[in-house]
């Protein structure tokens, strides 16, 4: 290809053709290789290391700051900084890859009434005659009981052929007062819809048989937008420049269509039999799917372009369901609390709770809602990065090779996803490790890792030997070099502990601010519901030990799975829930924590670890 350079990616042996000057990161995405970018390509995390053979821009100041001289000598570069100038070969090590994350597709079960927005009605229309030469449309509308019904242009175009294909016996597909499609014969028993949870990191689709209410198939993918940054702020920044919005929208639509194709194949249901899609997502994901400019969401006072539900022809966005099918997006609450939180509110049935109930969704952000049937208050904190592996020296997402569980006995015991040699640790292991370090007395409540000379006398020798001096304070060896796939030990550093304090401090402070709104203490919270991928893999005892959650009995903490998706399925199966969703979106009060002095005060307190269990 003229004007482009050829970049070969190893070990896959995949080639990408890009313009000279493209970042190695962009070229990798072009080759279908997703590099982990926890800092969104800002050049601060050092996770995107790749080896570039030659033909590359000179090492810049950012790379010099992050990479050690021996890394540079070995040809390692940061994929978010290195620009490719000539044909070259790039090797992407396992440790730099964004492996498919363990994706949570199931959630709390809600018995749902079946009254979908889309419905089918089979009718036999009278034939035209010379005595009554009425139009096809008039005869079909009469047969349907006509009043107030309209035929969409798409349906009108299908009408003459559909009517005559099966002797004037056909099935109308209705959406509200519109006939959106016509099918020859009686197909009333065959009606499908699809519910999507579009998260910042993962996308899950569920195909529902709307005639029976059963889930026919489920499929999930990593959100391909992660190549453009792993948090909403990075995506908004990208969308605000040049063609960024169009590019990000195309990526998510491609992903949705991939999932639709998988669902259709799994359930042996043609995509044309799917007449409606519902979607939940945070406000930024909602705007990016609809191609709405999200830039103001990131600017004080953080207004969304739209709060309410949007209903549009899915084909207008390039979504490959029936060409006349509709898309419904769950209403948002505010700029940083979106339709996914409304989904959690519906799934957890918060608007009917008599006693204060707290729902916490720890994803890339932490969203919290506390309330009763009288009042709901929501807030959001930037809590996720540490628990998703970002800014943690050996942190990674919950994918193959991640230590997911840590327990201390006479020594450290760990279990790893995929049962392979560990290459990092994910959020649940991070919480386990910090809790165990506190119990063992290796970590003090201020968050300082004690030095070898300050450790408790009774500490087993094997644990004692894992405490080593680090670059800033002490480190703890979670896995020895011989046990890992990295060729180096996996450490928990003093800096990592600080990141955990920041993340858990933000979530806990948000909870404390919400409690104050209701004037309740810990005993006054009837239940804590943990939603989202991360929330479902943490161990309650350890989350309590580090002070992530208020000290309540274990029995009051419940896991509710991917509750946002459950909410999307509810509004798909029954339009009645759409009114509830709208009410929740309008009536849930949003608290902007950044502007509250109270939050800063609680945050400072919540940074500390509890003195005891
Ligand atoms: S340093 Fe490149 S993505 Fe963070």
Peptide bond into 11 cis (omega under 30): yes
In 3D space, the residue among 334, 329, 60, 391 whose CA is nearest the CA of residue 195 turns out to be 329
The set of protein residues with a Cβ atom below 6 angstroms from ligand 1 is: 37-39, 41, 43-48, 78, 80
Cα 50 to averaged position of ligand 1 atoms, centre (Å): 11
Q: CA-to-CA distance for 246 and 556, rounded, in angstroms?
A: 45
Record the tokens describing residue 489, joined without a space.
């030990």
pTM: 0.81
Phi and psi of 257, rounded to 5°?
-70, -35
CA of 80 to the centre of ligand 1 (A): 6
One-letter-per-residue 3-state SS of 385-419: HHHCCCCCCCECCCCCCEEEEEEECCCEEEEEHHH
pLDDT score recorded for residue 98 = 64
pLDDT of 1: 43
Alpha helix (H) residue ranges in 166-296: 232-239, 244-267, 283-290
- Ligand 1 pocket mutation, candidates 28, 35, 46, criterion most atoms within 8 A of CB: 46
User: Residue 595 has what pLDDT?
Assistant: 77
Q: In angstroms, what is the span from residue 369 Cα to ligand 1's centroid?
A: 33
Which atom of ligand 1 lies at the shortest distance from residue 62's CA? Answer: 1
* pLDDT at residue number 540: 84
Distance 79 CA to ligand 1 centre (A): 7
Low-confidence residues of the chain: pLDDT under 50: 1-2, 100-101, 103
* Listed residue (343, 367, 384, 306) closest to 206, CA to CA: 343
pLDDT at 105: 53
């Amino acid at each position: 290809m003229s004007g482009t350079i050829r970049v070969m990616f190893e070990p896959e042996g995949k080639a990408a053709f890009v313009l000279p000057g493209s970042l190695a990161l962009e070229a990798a995405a072009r080759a279908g290789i997703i590099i982990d970018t926890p800092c969104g390509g800002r050049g601060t995390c050092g996770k995107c290391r790749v080896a570039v053979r030659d033909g590359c821009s000179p090492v810049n100041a950012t790379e010099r700051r992050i990479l050690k001289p021996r890394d540079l000598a070995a040809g390692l570069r940061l994929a978010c900084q290195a620009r490719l100038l000539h044909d070259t070969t790039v090797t992407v090590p396992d440790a730099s890859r964004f492996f498919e994350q363990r994706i949570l597709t199931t959630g709390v079960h809600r018995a749902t009434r079946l009254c979908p927005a889309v419905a089918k009605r089979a009718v036999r229309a009278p034939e035209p005659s010379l005595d009554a030469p009425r139009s096809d449309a008039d005869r079909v509308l009469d047969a349907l009981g006509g009043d107030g019904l309209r035929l969409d242009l798409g349906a009108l175009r299908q009408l003459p052929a559909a009517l005559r294909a099966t002797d004037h016996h056909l099935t109308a597909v209705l959406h509200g007062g519109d006939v959106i499609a016509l099918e020859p014969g009686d197909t009333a028993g065959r009606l499908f819809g699809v519910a999507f949870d579009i998260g910042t990191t993962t996308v899950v689709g569920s195909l529902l048989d709307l005639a029976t209410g059963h889930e026919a198939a489920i499929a999930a993918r990593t959100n391909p937008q992660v190549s453009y940054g792993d948090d909403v702020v990075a995506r908004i920044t990208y969308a605000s420049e040049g063609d960024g919005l169009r590019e990000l929208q195309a990526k998510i639509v491609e992903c949705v269509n991939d999932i639709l194709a998988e669902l259709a194949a799994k359930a042996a249901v043609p995509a044309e039999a799917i007449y409606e899609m519902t979607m939940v997502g945070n406000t930024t994901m909602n705007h990016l799917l609809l191609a709405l400019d999200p830039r103001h969401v990131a600017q004080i006072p953080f207004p969304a372009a739209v709060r309410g539900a949007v209903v549009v022809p899915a084909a207008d966005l390039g979504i490959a369901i029936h060409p006349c099918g509709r898309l419904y997006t769950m209403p948002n609450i505010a700029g940083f609390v979106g339709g996914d939180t409304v989904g959690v509110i519906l799934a957890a049935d918060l608007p009917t709770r008599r006693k204060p109930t707290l729902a916490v969704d720890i994803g890339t952000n932490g969203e919290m809602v506390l309330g009763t049937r009288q009042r709901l208050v929501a807030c959001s904190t930037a809590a996720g990065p540490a628990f998703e592996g970002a800014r943690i020296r050996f942190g990674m997402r919950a994918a193959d090779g991640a230590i997911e569980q840590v327990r201390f006995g006479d020594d450290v015991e760990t279990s790893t996803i995929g049962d392979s040699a560990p290459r990092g640790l994910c959020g649940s292991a991070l919480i386990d490790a910090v809790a165990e370090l506190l119990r063992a007395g290796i970590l003090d409540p201020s968050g300082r890792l004690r030095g070898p000379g300050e450790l408790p006398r009774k500490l087993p020798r094997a644990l004692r030997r894992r405490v080593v001096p680090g670059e800033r304070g002490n480190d703890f060896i979670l896995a020895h070099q011989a046990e890992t796939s990295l060729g180096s030990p996996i450490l928990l550093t003093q800096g990592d502990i600080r990141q955990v304090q920041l993340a858990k401090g933000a979530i806990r402070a948000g909870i404390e601010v919400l409690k104050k709104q209701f004037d309740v203490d810990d005993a006054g919270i009837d239940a804590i519901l943990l939603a989202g991928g991360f929330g479902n893999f943490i161990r309650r005892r350890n989350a309590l030990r580090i002070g992530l959650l208020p000290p309540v009995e274990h029995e009051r903490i419940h896991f509710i799975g991917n509750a946002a998706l459950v909410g999307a399925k509810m509004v798909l199966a029954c339009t009645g829930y759409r009114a509830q969703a709208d009410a929740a979106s309008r009536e849930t009060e949003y608290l902007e924590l950044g502007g509250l002095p109270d939050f800063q005060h609680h945050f400072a307190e919540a940074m500390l670890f509890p003195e005891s269990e």
